[in-house]
């Protein structure tokens, strides 16, 4: 006797359950990520990479600096003017990186491509190439996993985001770029190697001014990453030759957290995506969170339903549904914005994007449902990951106005938090005085003020900017973590730091110029 096939919506709901991330799942992920954060601080791992940035901006930095921001599938050339009052202006050009240089046996085509874009930029900006006497300092944001050996050098560990240039692995990105610049005879010197997360943190710290102490920055775009401020005494992986009373901005490279798949959720669609990727078995968190992969997960689900003849709609062989990586994460954002009370909006979007015909209301509902749960899982994993950083920082354990009496015995976490609070204040005062001779530094919030309680986070990337409920779902996941909870989540301020990686590279170049002077 034949059994009746479940309806399309029933099949979609069954798939949606596979992508569900329960509060218990979130807690497991956060606990495991806290363990990985600590492990990376103590041992040589491909995550928790020191950036060698040991002071965050105060907002008083000044100067004009070039920056190159390479990541995802784009390359931006920027001229950043830091005004010294927590504001900046930028002039930039944006270019798509040709696929033939993203996947290539040799690194030279990529860096020659970047150098030529720098040359074009200098030629199109009035006054930038009027003299060969002036050398422009350039910060290079290289959004791939590198182990930095200093502020201005590093070693590429591996490619991700679909890139594969074998000859570049193990090489210094700054050196490769400088070689290409020198071949063109440009008056440019690459002075710092920046990471997108680190750059975004510095940009947020600069724009938030001296009254805020930015803890971290998160990237949710083509890829995902985070950086945060750690007490240097905890970074035992780099030895004891550096003053342990200082701070260190850490590049978490959290996209590769739990590559062993101990706690991350797993569906057959995740496995299919990973097996077909350029780097199978790695970047497992990134493959569940970043914009490069969310559209592909939706495409794989739709493909399965199409092959089951579950849809009413039909798609030609030329449809993006049948093309690997054919669906962009922006499609998920547009589906989420479509009015649920007017199915026609979603139907038209699906027809236009997928070259589909005869799209029914049930088809649209099923696709919207699956897209929503894929994005929700990504946001909740992002929230669990950010919760791990905040827990590691200790900033939630003791409010800044908690001054224990002499007989009170602090535990290790509380003492670390108190030390960090005092360190932040000392650094802010020192930086404020040093950056404006003869002028008093901007006032620091009084102990116990609301501003003093805030945990400031910078953010960048199309997912968190354009997906309607991404931040809300992140916050929901953080509330599910007992160490954060509703009270802690309310103290977390997430602010967009647009184009943070490029401006951050300029801020690092400014810091390097001061150190050199």
pLDDT tens digit at each of 517 positions of the chain: 445 568 999 999 999 999 999 999 999 999 999 999 999 999 999 999 999 888 889 899 999 999 999 987 899 999 999 999 999 999 999 999 999 999 999 999 999 999 999 999 999 887 776 555 678 899 999 988 898 888 899 999 989 888 999 999 999 999 999 999 999 999 999 999 988 899 999 999 999 876 568 999 999 998 999 999 999 989 998 875 667 678 999 999 999 999 999 999 999 999 999 999 988 999 999 999 999 999 999 999 999 999 999 999 999 999 999 999 999 999 999 999 998 778 899 999 999 999 999 999 999 999 999 999 999 999 999 999 999 999 999 999 855 443 333 332 334 444 444 444 444 444 443 444 333 222 233 333 443 445 558 999 999 999 999 999 999 999 999 999 999 999 999 999 999 998 788 899 999 888 888 777 6
What domain range includes position 512?
A: 63-199+500-516
Residues 6+ apart with CB under 8 A from 180: 108, 111, 112, 114, 115
In a domain, 33, yes or no: no
CB burial readout 80-107, b (16+ within 10 A) else e: bebebebebeeeeeebebeeebbebeeb
Query: In whole angstroms, what is the distance from residue 418 CA to residue 401 CA?
Result: 10
d(CA 324, CA 467): 22
CB atoms within 10 A of CB 412: 8
Q: Assess if residue 188 is contained within a domain.
A: yes
Whole-number Å distance between alpha carbons of 273 and 473: 24
CA dihedral 92, 291, 40, 195 (to 10 degrees): -10
Residue 99 pLDDT = 93
User: In this predicted structure, what is the pLDDT of residue 45?
Assistant: 92
8 Å CB contact between 493 and 456: yes
Is this structure's pTM higher than 0.75?
yes
Q: What's 108's domain CATH number? A: 3.30.420.40
Structural domain includes residue 363: no
Which value, in Å, is the radius of gyration of the alpha carbons in the chain?
A: 24
Question: Judging by beta carbons within 10 Å of its beta carbon (0-12, 13-18, 19+), is residue 342 exposed, middle or buried?
Answer: exposed
Task: Determine, yes or no, domain membership for 79.
Answer: yes
Whether 261 is in a domain gets the answer no
96 occurs within a structural domain:
yes
Domain assignment present for 234: no
Q: Rounded to whole angstroms, how far apart are CA atoms 325 and 120?
A: 31
CA neighbours within 13 Å on the CB side: how many for 398?
A: 19
Q: For residue 353, tell me if it sits in a domain.
A: no
Asked whether the beta carbons of 205 and 229 are under 8 A apart, the reply is: no
Position 481 scores a pLDDT of 98
How far apart are alpha carbons 68 and 92 in whole angstroms? 10
Give the per-residue pLDDT at 413.
Answer: 42
Look at residue 29 in the predicted model and tell me its pLDDT. Answer: 98
Give the count of domains, the chain. 1
């Amino acid at each position: 006797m034949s059994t009746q096939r479940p309806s399309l919506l029933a099949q979609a709901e069954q798939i949606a359950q596979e992508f569900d991330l329960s509060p218990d799942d979130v807690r497991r992920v956060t606990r495991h990520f806290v363990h990985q954060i600590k492990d990376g601080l103590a041992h040589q791992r491909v995550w928790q990479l020191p950036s060698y940035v040991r002071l965050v901006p105060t907002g008083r930095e000044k100067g004009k600096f070039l920056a190159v921001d390479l990541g995802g599938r784009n390359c931006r050339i920027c001229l950043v003017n830091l005004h010294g009052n927590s504001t900046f202006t930028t002039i930039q050009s944006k270019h798509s990186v040709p696929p033939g240089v993203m996947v290539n046996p040799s690194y030279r085509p990529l860096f020659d491509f970047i150098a030529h874009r720098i040359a074009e930029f200098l030629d199109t900006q009035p006054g930038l190439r009027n003299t060969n006497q002036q050398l422009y300092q350039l910060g290079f944001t290289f959004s791939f996993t590198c182990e930095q050996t200093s502020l201005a050098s590093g070693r590429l560990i591996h490619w991700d985001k679909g890139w594969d240039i074998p000859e570049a692995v193990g090489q210094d990105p700054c050196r490769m770029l400088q070689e290409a610049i020198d071949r063109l005879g440009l008056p440019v010197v690459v002075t710092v190697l920046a990471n997108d997360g680190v750059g975004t943190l510095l940009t947020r710290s600069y724009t938030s001014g001296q009254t805020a102490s930015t803890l971290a920055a998160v990237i949710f775009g083509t890829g995902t990453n985070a950086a945060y401020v750690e007490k240097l005494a905890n970074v035992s992986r780099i030895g004891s030759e550096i003053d342990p009373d200082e701070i260190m901005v850490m590049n978490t490279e959290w996209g590769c957290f739990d590559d062993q798949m101990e706690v991350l959720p797993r569906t057959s669609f995740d496995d299919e995506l990973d097996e077909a990727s350029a780097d199978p078995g790695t970047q497992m968190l990134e493959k569940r969170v970043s914009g490069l992969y969310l559209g592909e997960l939706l495409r794989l689900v739709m493909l399965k339903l199409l092959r089951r003849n579950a849809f009413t709609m039909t798609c030609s062989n030329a449809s993006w549904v049948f093309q690997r990586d054919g669906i962009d994460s922006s499609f998920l954002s547009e589906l989420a914005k479509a009015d649920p009370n007017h199915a026609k909006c979603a139907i038209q979007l699906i027809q236009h994007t997928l070259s589909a015909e005869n799209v029914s209301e049930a088809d649209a509902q099923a696709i919207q449902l699956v897209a929503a749960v894929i994005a929700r899982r990504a946001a909740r994993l992002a929230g669990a990951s950010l919760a791990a950083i905040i827990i590691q920082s200790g900033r939630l354990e003791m409010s800044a106005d908690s001054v224990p009496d002499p007989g009170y015995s602090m535990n290790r976490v509380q003492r670390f938090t108190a030390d960090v609070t005092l360190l932040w204040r000392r650094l802010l005062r020192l930086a404020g005085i040093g950056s404006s001779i003869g002028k008093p530094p901007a006032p620091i919030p009084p102990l116990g003020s609301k501003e003093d309680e805030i945990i400031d986070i910078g953010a960048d990337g199309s997912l968190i900017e354009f997906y309607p409920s991404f931040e809300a779902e992140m916050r929901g996941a953080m509330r599910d973590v007992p160490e954060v909870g509703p009270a802690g989540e309310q103290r977390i301020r997430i602010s967009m730091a647009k184009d943070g990686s490029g401006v951050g590279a300029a801020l690092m170049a400014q810091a390097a110029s001061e150190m050199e002077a």
